[in-house]
């Protein structure tokens, strides 16, 4: 039999064996303890009505709090699902536009051309852009002069400096910008590609850009076809 304390309330020693997360009693546990307390109370000193009413009120409050927590959780889940649906719909609307993606690499898979660029941190007297294949061999060079700070875009038709079309594969470019005093100018490289589609995966929403898959966090900017930037 469960032990009886001097106040007429029972203590179940099995509680001490429960893991910590089970020591936080729910309404079902509370009700079981209340019933056990009534069954095992001291017949010579039963619980008075006020104590019993107080425990019933506590049980009622616990039940209401539990129901409230369930309702809040359902509301949060509904809000999350709605937010995801809206986000997915808006992301799908990006198909057909261009995306600016941080990085200096791109892949030639038979497309007519590729667009890429760089951002200058200050005015530059000269800028040399060199394109290399996966083996590190120089295949194409671009040179520009007297450029303002900001973004600058280039297009390449996958022909080398001799006018010969390069084979399909991986390519990357480097930017060497020089100021009027001969010092270097900081640059940030990026590539631009058409958004071909959207994939909704377990790890999040992905954009297909020129056949390659990117996280939304990889996208620097959306370049809309009507000229609006996002």
Whether residue 230 lies inside any domain: the answer is no
> What pLDDT, in 10s, does the model give residues 8-36?
444 455 545 555 544 555 566 766 776 77
d(CA 13, CA 90): 57
Residues 81 and 109 in one domain: no
d(CA 124, CA 147): 5
Q: Which pLDDT value is given to residue 8? A: 43
Domain boundary, last residue among 60, 90, 120: 90
Whether residue 145 lies inside any domain: the answer is yes
Whether residue 162 lies inside any domain: the answer is yes
> What pLDDT, in 10s, does the model give residues 94-106?
888 888 998 899 8
Contact 174, 130 (CB under 8 A): yes
Specify the number of domains making up the chain: 2
Residues 211 and 110 in one domain: yes
Looking at per-residue pLDDT, the higher value among 168 and 223 belongs to 168
**Band of residue 221 on the pLDDT scale cut at 50, 70, 90:** confident
Whether residue 229 lies inside any domain: the answer is no
Residues 74 and 121 in one domain: no
Secondary structure letter of residue 228 according to DSSP: -
Residues 111 and 193 in one domain: yes
pTM: 0.55
Residue 16, Cβ density class (10 Å: 0-12 exposed, 13-18 middle, ≥19 buried) = exposed
Whether residue 55 lies inside any domain: the answer is yes
Q: How far apart are the first and last CA of the chain?
A: 72
Residues 117 and 64 in one domain: no
Structural domain span for residue 64? 3-90
**Band of residue 3 on the pLDDT scale cut at 50, 70, 90:** very low
Whether residue 228 lies inside any domain: the answer is no
Mean pLDDT of 76-104: 70
**Residue 87 pLDDT exceeds 50:** yes
pLDDT above 70 as % of the chain: 63
Angle of the 49-92 helix axis to the 27-39 helix axis, nearest 10? 170
Residues 152 and 218 in one domain: yes
Whether residue 133 lies inside any domain: the answer is yes
Residue 112, Cβ density class (10 Å: 0-12 exposed, 13-18 middle, ≥19 buried) = exposed
> What pLDDT, in 10s, does the model give residues 153-171?
999 999 999 999 999 999 9
Residues 85 and 103 in one domain: no
Residue 203 maps to which CATH number? 2.60.40.4070
* Cross-strand bridge partners of residue 100: 192, 221
**Residue 89 pLDDT exceeds 50:** yes
Contact 185, 179 (CB under 8 A): yes
């Amino acid at each position: 039999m469960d032990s009886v304390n001097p106040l007429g309330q029972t203590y179940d020693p099995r509680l001490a064996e429960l893991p910590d997360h089970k020591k936080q009693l729910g309404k079902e546990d509370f009700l079981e303890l209340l019933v056990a307390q009534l069954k095992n109370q001291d017949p010579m000193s039963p619980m008075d009505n006020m104590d019993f009413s107080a425990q019933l009120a506590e049980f009622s409050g616990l039940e209401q709090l539990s129901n409230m927590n369930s309702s809040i959780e359902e509301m949060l889940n509904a809000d999350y699902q709605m937010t995801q649906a809206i986000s997915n719909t808006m992301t799908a609307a990006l198909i057909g536009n261009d995306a600016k993606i941080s990085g200096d690499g791109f892949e030639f898979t038979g497309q007519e051309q590729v667009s890429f660029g760089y951002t200058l941190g200050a005015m530059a007297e000269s800028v040399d852009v060199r394109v290399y294949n996966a083996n590190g061999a120089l295949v194409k060079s671009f040179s520009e002069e007297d450029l303002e700070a900001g973004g600058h875009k280039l297009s390449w038709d996958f022909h080398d400096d001799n006018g010969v079309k390069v084979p399909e594969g991986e390519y990357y470019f480097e930017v060497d910008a020089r100021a009027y005093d001969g010092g270097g100018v900081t640059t940030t490289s990026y590539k631009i590609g058409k958004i071909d589609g959207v994939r909704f995966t377990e790890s999040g929403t992905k954009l297909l850009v020129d056949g390659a898959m990117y996280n939304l966090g990889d996208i620097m900017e959306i370049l809309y076809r009507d000229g609006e930037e996002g």
